[in-house]
Structure 1
Amino acid sequence: MRFSVLTIILFTFGCGSSEYTPGLVDAKLFFSPETEQNKWVAFKFSVQGPGVPEGLSTIALLRFGRNAEIPNIPYGYQRRITVEVCTTEQCDPAKAGDIVAKGMSKRFDLLTSSEHESLNIFVMPRNFVGRPMALENPLSESKPAVSDRVGATVTTLFDGRILIAGGAKIKKDSATWFNEADIETITKEAEIYDPNTGKFELVSPMTEPRAFHQAVRVRDGRVVLLGGFTRTSDGAISLTGSVEVFDPKSNTFQKDTGQGKLPVGRALFSAFVVESDGNAIVVIGGRSSPPQGALYVDVYFPGAGIIFHSDPNMFPGSTPLKAVRWNHSAVFVPDYKRDIDGKGSQAIILFGGENDQGIVSDVEAFTIAPTSPFQTIRDELSVVQMPQGGRTHIASVYIRPHGYVYLVGGFQEKGAKNPSSRVDVYSAASGQFKGALQSLTMPRGAATATLLDNNIIFIAGGLGSQGVLDETALVMEQLVCQDPQKMEGCAYQVTLREGITPKLLDSRAGHLAVYDATGKVLMLGGFTNDRTGVRPALFYNPD
């Protein structure tokens, strides 16, 4: 028997009164066409979430031809259901080839017996690259409304949906993909991808076209979009300093109220919300008009405009960047140079980049004051050189538990030339480099690096010396202790693993990648050889 959809009903339960009526969760399971159903013997359901005892993580085993033991889900926040497909009744993760496919629901809250949650779970083979599917019967490939683009932003909303905004179509055979001369058109279109339905849907357009901008989610769930390249009424490509806000309740954009613009137009910069506040946004680096404007760090507050500008004449003690840089890599660190108690400063760390003079090799860390106006100051002891010189278009990932930043690939020359095979490790706890992993077999820049569960990093695509790549790889950490029971003598062992993950279905570079609410990596846009845009979206379902 072959099927593409299976519906299950799950009960929820609370504690206290014996008079309660159980709530219900109905979950539809949708199965990827690539799953080998002739090998299936059992399903295994589990539920995860804060406060769920480890013993409840594995709830029930469904055997074909027998009554199903349906899992009960305890009330609480951030619940998630995982479905695994097994070739034996044991569903043993230690046995190779036993668990052959899996899928996860989005996270959901169940707090009262009156609540009813409807979920869709897309089950795919493990360690598999495929296409997103619209989760309805029959399944069909889910395609972005605007697919041929680079320089868009992806922002995960509080409800798990993903906002995809703006972007540019680049000219065929253009020299690069990020300069004004490379851009053919810029879009103002925006769309939402909903992991629970598997569908892309257009929303109201932005107030103006923009690409290579930044989008930051703030405390109330709105998304603030800043700067970028835009297209003027006469068709020219120019830098903009405008700011607009997306409201996820109405799916609409509007210009930010008050002094809603940056001091200068900027593109190819970085922006992060200040974690201690949830609303203030630090804007740093990039290309600007005038060019020296991007030397300064700005703090933008929605509805109020700029509340800090790192000109020491305005804010004594403040420090601008040592040099203008764009196409750099940047990470926000909530506990930079933390002490033995785990306390540190909020900071943004910049790696590499380029400017009109060439490649930037400096690493700079700027600490952020915990209260308004969130003054930034460069940590002069943090100014170190990148190993073997600077790079641009580095893929970077910060892993919070131990404060390591992984820096993958990049280009060692301007114009996206001379790709690097390095994977460097930087410690935000010490402000110094810790060394490097083994080199990538194929040097690359403009790849993506996406943080998965269990501190695993998924590397995908990129531009190599022979063209655009379809290669993937993993960076994997393992905590090894001399005394595991006492957790003494522990250290992380980190390895680069190539050849164990599947290739992409389409080679691509300069694309977007985001770890979605159902535990899959969604990849969008980018370009292939001759700078042709890549239209289909991709999913990676981790092992």
Structure 2
Amino acid sequence: MDLPLRMRPNGPSYLAALAGVVLGALATGCQPRVVNYQVRVVTSACVAPSPLENVTHMRFRVTGDGLEEPIVMVVPETDAVVEIPEIPAGTNRTIEVRAYDGDPSAGGKVVSMGSSLPFTVPDVVPEDQTPTEITIFLRRVGVFTPPSTADAPTTCSMMLEPRAGHTATLLADGRVFIAGGYHLSNGNIDGSLDTTEIFNPGTGTFEKAAGLLVPPQNTSSLARAFMGAVLLKNGQVLLAGGETFNPPAGLFPVRSILIYDPTTNTFGKFDMKLPRRRPGVAVDSGGRVLIVGGTDGQGKPVEYAEWYDPEKGPHLARTEDPADLAAENPRLLPVKTPRAGMAVAPVQGGRFIAVAGGTDGVKLADEVLFFNFDGTTFQASPSTVRLREVRYAPGIAPFKDSNNLLVAGGYNSSTEPMTSLNSSEIIATDAFNVSDGQVLSQARGDVCVAPLPDGRVVIIGGRLDGGPGGLSSAAGEMMIPNPSGGASTVALPLLDFPRYHHTCTTLKDGSVLVLGGVEQRATGAPRVLQDVYIYTPPPLD
């Protein structure tokens, strides 16, 4: 159904209505001028059951910057018009829709929900009278649902090509930038990808973006997989290192950094001090980027971390500037901290960057490193925090709040045989202690973890054992922080296809986007997946 948004200015506020016909007026002075907000709530899906199955009531909730209280309306599902009083002008306005199996005030439960991308309600009448389109996709909660487009809601969307070992970075506007990866031939890796694409949750579409090519001529490929990816404070995406496959020569670590500007769909390029396969990358509270570990061309852990300050360049638009090229940026850290197969995440609001698990080249490391910027460089702060179980290739995510980290799964060795782990641990970085987390439903490494805005963490897929024979997992869990400490867990539905080397990205509305990966079963050749799922967590309120 189409639910256009009708707005009229009322001093600093707007009167709004959601209706089943295209309506909408914005009046100024004595001469009315019409502005349409075309709001479309998509209530069909490409898989059963329907988002509206067993639904009796709908709740519409408007939030945004400067709103002291959300604007909430609950109506029977059969209502054609929903009146929402006084939506003030402002930024980051979001419309959330929830579908219930009964009156929510009488115990009705959420069946489906969806949310718009943030939009702005102007405080002046715009000259452009083109209707602003806002699309909201209703999806069943607690299940994995393939996305679809508003124009073809019964056809499942897919990536433009199969990918594994890629990155998927949430952009400031709510879209997701997907880069690189690798593909298989007869079950073996035979090349890395130099393509990128963007997923738009507001439309359900995938669009081709600029390729990973040497700028500015864009004639030579910079294909790579397993690079580090972070969103910079200026809205650009930094891609660091990775590995490139050039058969028959083999696999090589990548030295270059690429910076992608989504506003211009262009890349800039410069080099790190050291080439790195599978580095750990994170941004601190000051916007500085720390690049840790990874392996070199001989498969040994890279000994020195390095850091990059985006404010000092090299910059996207100045890659050929001699001063830019000569800048001592990135910089190596002065102390050796070799790590490979580790997990990296910012903590305490980015005051520290934590490095947990992995190997130092001699043994698996139990020490958790905490890097912070001292005004001149990053330093690894002295720490007594030790993992209770050493682990290679675990997952990591903030848990409960920015002071706590969940470290989950992994392997008991960095070399074959690699047995997967089913344990998890909670690191309290403010108290510098470690406690046991919940046991995973299935032991596995290379898990995909996604932190939710409410402090929960979703763990999806992974590999049952390391090495060439390790099978993909379809299992998933949601780790839930307990108010008194510790955690509880809820099993997720099994994925339609098991996978590892996939990505899990938390979207603006708190749902989780799952992309690609490798399906490897006990029989048949492994294959790289092209499919897409969105997991919508049941709300806590």
TM superposition score normalised by structure 2: 0.82
Q: Which residue of 2 aligns with 1:428?
A: 429
Partners in 2 of 1:383 and 1:289 — Cα distance? 32
Q: Work out the CA distance in 1 between the residues paired with 2:186 and 2:363.
A: 25
Contact 1:59–1:71 (CA under 8 A) maintained in structure 2: no
Question: SS at the partner of 2:528?
Answer: coil
Closer/same/farther in 2, CA of residues 22 and 401 from structure 1, 3 Å limit: farther
- Structure 1 position 271 matched with structure 2 position 284: no
1:217 aligns with 2:227: no
| Aligned equivalent of 2:381 | 379
Provide the residue aligned with 1:103 in structure 2. Answer: 114
Task: Say whether the 8 Å CA contact 2:232–2:283 is kept in structure 1.
Answer: yes
Q: CA RMSD in A?
A: 2.8
Q: Which amino acid letter does the alignment assign opposite residue 118 of structure 2? A: R
- Of 495, 498, 512, which residue of structure 2 is paired with 1:521? 512
The amino acid that maps onto 2:272 is L
Q: Conserved in 2, the CA contact under 8 Å of 1:230 and 1:237?
A: yes
1:307 pairs with 2:329: yes
Change (3 A) 1:71 1:161: farther
From 71, 78, 83, the counterpart of 1:64: 78
Q: 1:496 Cα shift? A: 2.6
2: distance between equivalents of 1:291 and 1:216? 24
Q: How many residues in Structure 1 have an aligned counterpart in Structure 2?
A: 484
Distance apart, 1:13 and its partner CA: 4.8
Look up the SS of the partner of 2:454 in the other structure. helix
Please give the per-residue CA displacement for 1:93-128, whole angstroms capped at 9, x wherever unaligned: x725x3321111112232324356421111011212
Counterpart AA for 2:487: T
Does residue 320 of structure 1 match 2:336?
yes
Q: Is the Cα contact below 8 Å between 2:44 and 2:153 reproduced in 1?
A: no
Q: Give the SS at the match of 2:271.
A: coil
CA apart distance, 1:212: 1.1
Partner residue of 1:454?
454
**Aligned equivalents of 1:107 and 1:329: distance in 2?**
31
Q: 1:32 to 1:358 in 2, by over 3 A?
A: farther
Letter in 1 for 2:193: T
Structure 2 counterparts to residues 491-510 of structure 1, below 5 A = 492-499=484-491, 501-510=492-501
Whole-Å separation in 1 of the counterparts to 2:153 and 2:75: 26
Secondary structure (helix, strand or coil) at the match of 1:74 reads: coil
Name the CA distance, whole Å, in 2 between partners of 1:152 and 1:311.
27
Instruction: Write the distance in 2 (CA, Å) between the matches of 1:233 and 1:423.
Output: 38
Deviation at 1:73, TM superposition (A): 2.6
Aligned pairs (5 A) from 1:205-354: 205-207=211-213, 208-231=222-245, 236-253=250-267, 255-256=268-269, 260-276=270-286, 278=287, 280-289=288-297, 294-301=302-309, 302-303=313-314, 304=324, 306-307=328-329, 309-310=331-332, 312=334, 319-321=335-337, 324-334=338-348, 346-354=351-359
Q: Which runs of 5+ in 1 are unaligned?
A: 175-182, 313-318, 337-345, 480-491
Match of 1:316 in 2: none
2:157 is the alignment partner of 1:146: no
Q: Which runs of 5+ in 2 are unaligned?
A: 14-26, 214-221, 315-323
Tell me the distance in 1 between the aligned counterparts of 2:445 and 2:211.
Answer: 31
Contact 1:11 1:22 in 2 (8 A): no
Q: Percent identity?
A: 21
Inter-partner Cα distance in structure 2 for 1:400 and 1:231: 39
1:29 equivalent among 30, 41, 44: 41
Please give the alpha-carbon distance, in whole angstroms, between the structure 2 residues aligned to 1:295 and 1:38: 56
How far apart are 1:25 and its partner, in Å? 3.0
SS at match of 1:295: coil
Deviations, residues 129-169 of structure 1 (Å, cap 9, x unaligned): 1111122145421110122x222111111111111000112
Question: Kindly tell me: are residues 220 and 453 of structure 1, through their superposed partners in 2, closer, same or farther at Cα, counting changes over 3 Å?
Answer: closer
Looking at structure 1, the residues matched to 81 and 194 of structure 2 have their Cα atoms a distance apart, in angstroms, of: 52
Which residue number corresponds to residue 8 of structure 1?
A: 4
**134 and 356 in structure 1: CA distance in 2 versus 1, 3 angstrom threshold:** same
2: CA distance, partners of 1:68 / 1:209: 50
